[in-house]
Amino acid sequence: MSDESNALMALKNAWTGAVSAADVLREMAPSVQAVSDDADLATLDFEAYHRVALAHANAAAALRGVIEQIRRKYGQTAA
pLDDT one-digit tens code per residue, 45-64: 999 999 999 999 999 999 99
Domain that holds residue 33: 3-73
Q: Is residue 33 part of a domain?
A: yes
pLDDT of 25: 97
Q: Is residue 79 part of a domain?
A: no
Q: Is residue 27 part of a domain?
A: yes
pTM, 2 dp: 0.83
Give the CA distances from residue 19 to residues 22, 26, 42, 57, 75, in Å, rounded to whole numbers and listed in that order.
Answer: 5, 10, 30, 11, 27
Q: Is residue 35 part of a domain?
A: yes
Averaged pLDDT for residues 1-16: 92
User: In total, how many domains does the chain have?
Assistant: 1
Q: Is residue 78 part of a domain?
A: no
Q: Is residue 28 part of a domain?
A: yes
Q: Report whether 26 contacts 70 (CB < 8 A).
A: no
Model pLDDT for residues 20-46, shown as the tens digit of each residue: 999 999 999 999 999 999 999 999 999
Q: Is residue 20 part of a domain?
A: yes
